[in-house]
Amino acid sequence: AFTVIILGVIGARSFWIQGIQADDMATRPLLVRLPQTEPHRVNNPRLTAIAQRIPRGRILDSTGAVLAETRDGRRVYPCGEACAQLVGWLDARFGGPTGAEARYNRRLRGYDSTRDLLHLYRRKDLPFFRLPEGQDVTLTISREAQQRALRAIRRAYPNGNTAFVLIEPDSGHVLVAAGTPTFDPNQMNPALWQQLRTRKDAPLVFRPVDGLYAPGSVFKVVTAAAALEKGVPLRHLCRHSERNVRWKVGDKTFVKPRLSDHPSMRAHGTLGLRDAMRLSCNLYFAHLAIALQPESLYETASALGFQRIPKPDEMAPELPDCGFGQGKILASPLEVANLMATIARNGTWRRAVFTPGNNPSRPVLSDATAEALRQMLGEVVQTGTAYGIFTGTGWEVYGKTGTAETSEGNRKPHGWFAGVVQKDNLPPLAFALILEHGGSGREAARASRKILQQVLPVLQKR
């Protein structure tokens, strides 16, 4: 079970929820989920004694490297700060178990419920009695890739907060989910805990999965997918800025006094979908959203796995903004990376997972739509907004920049880049990076290159 908590604010309100304060962080609301603590607390000291004698399983990465194990009665986390929020920690004094320690707690601890402990307690003096053992849990991530990603993130964006996700589309396995700020769970103590839970930059939040941000222009990929699927073609004359934009949803008419492209851009002139994507024209996608209507955009976004999309009636009053990923549209880095994975998979959707196992898929986009999107996103990298960034890497990359305006007018917008990278000897890999207040999608594309340069060589060895 997960609890939705809200971090960050619109305007001057502030929330204190589950002890985490964040009054001026983020921008748009950054919504996060934190795992609830164990529902079963063992209060009987005899049962506690039994529980403590059951060796707890280890948490391992995809190569068998240890992410968490018990040494001399103490839980240790060899991945350290690179996996802090993902692997989590056990200690109940510090809100534990959290992360994977919480999610797989039953398997790791070796018993299901207090009732199981009672059975064990009653049989403990019988001949041939043996205590059960906690099972190991294997995650899909790579410890070395996590650590390399964190180092590269810090070099690329030293003073900012970030989240990076890398997915193998063929399996849906999450190979990397890292970000900043972070901390070393091995160093946890009451003073550090107190600091972590009250810091305004919310280091306890697992940003790759639980951080929800305005996706900005990376969401144009979803709007384009909806238009291709529903057969809604559009050509539009972009004059950089428009006044009194009107649209209808059902029998309601809405008006927006002013709508414009990013200030650094000039008027794009008459555009079709390909050039609008390549040049990231907001006005085009605003009109495309109007042509699509909220129902179609909502349907496509939901099918692609976006869980925080406003319902069609909530979308209606801000439909043009929704078309380019602003308004009330929110997405996690994992959702954005999985959008790219879906395009790499020829339109087949599959959950992005942290443990291997049965992972059914379902078709959400046609082959033709997926192919058209790959072409367009290729042009973004070749001649569009991410032009030149990946030159000289020898990789094939397609992707989308995003510069997401935030409600804090005095802070820089978030920078996004999400795409697919193909390198010799590796399957295609989908990724997403957000630099909170990183300024622009181009900055995020540059940082993506630096992170991938560190991470891909380790994956090649698998």
Nearer to Zn ion, 61 or 261 (CB): 261
> From CA 96, how far away is CA 100, in angstroms rounded?
11
- Bridge partner list, 175: none
Whether residue 199 contacts residue 19, with contact meaning beta carbons closer than 8 Å, is answered with no
Smallest separation (angstroms) from Zn ion to the CB of 264: 12
Going by C-alpha positions, the residue among 57, 58, 55, 56 that lies closest to residue 66 is: 58
Beta carbon of residue 297, minimum distance to Zn ion (angstroms, whole number)? 19
| CA count, 13 A, side-chain hemisphere, 286 | 25
Residue 286 or 451: the one with the smaller Cβ distance to Zn ion is 286
Q: Could you tell me the strand order of the sheet in which 429-435 lies? A: 173-180, 162-168, 429-435, 414-422, 396-404
Is the Cβ–Cβ distance between 175 and 355 less than 8 Å?
A: no
Determine the Cα–Cα distance for residues 380 and 345; give it in Å rounded to an integer: 19
Of 281 and 444, the one with the shorter C-beta distance to Zn ion is 281
Q: Which is nearer to Zn ion, 238 or 365 (CB)?
A: 238
| In the complex, minimum distance from the CB of residue 239 to Zn ion, in angstroms, rounded to a whole number | 8
Question: Shortest distance, CB of residue 329 to Zn ion, whole angstroms?
Answer: 19
Q: Among residues 28 and 278, whose Cβ is nearest to Zn ion?
A: 278
Longest dimension (CA), the chain: 85
Q: For the CB of residue 306, give the shortest distance to Zn ion in the complex, in Å.
A: 24
Least distance in Å: CB of 177 to Zn ion?
34
Nearest-approach distance from CB 373 to Zn ion, in angstroms: 20
In angstroms, what is the minimal distance from the CB of 325 to Zn ion? 15
Half-sphere exposure of 38 (CA within 13 A, CB side): 23
Least distance to Zn ion, CB of residue 244, Å: 17
Question: For Zn ion, which is the closer residue by CB, 283 or 456?
Answer: 283
Nearer to Zn ion, 163 or 289 (CB): 289
- Residue 164 or residue 284: which is nearer to Zn ion going by CB? 284
Give the nearest distance from C-beta 219 to Zn ion in angstroms.
Answer: 16
283 vs 432, beta carbon nearer Zn ion = 283
Nearest-angstrom CA–CA distance, 9 and 147: 31
Measured from the CB atom, the residue of 269 and 388 that comes closer to Zn ion is 269
Q: How far is the CB of 268 from Zn ion (least distance, A)?
A: 4
- Half-sphere exposure for 13 (CA within 13 Å, toward CB): 9
Rounded Cα distance between 396 and 450, Å, is 15
Compare residues 20 and 276 and give the one whose CB is closer to Zn ion. 276
Report in angstroms how near the CB of residue 267 gets to Zn ion at its nearest: 6
| Cβ-based nearer residue to Zn ion, 287 or 449 | 287
List interacting residues with Zn ion (CB under 5 A): 238, 261, 268, 281, 283
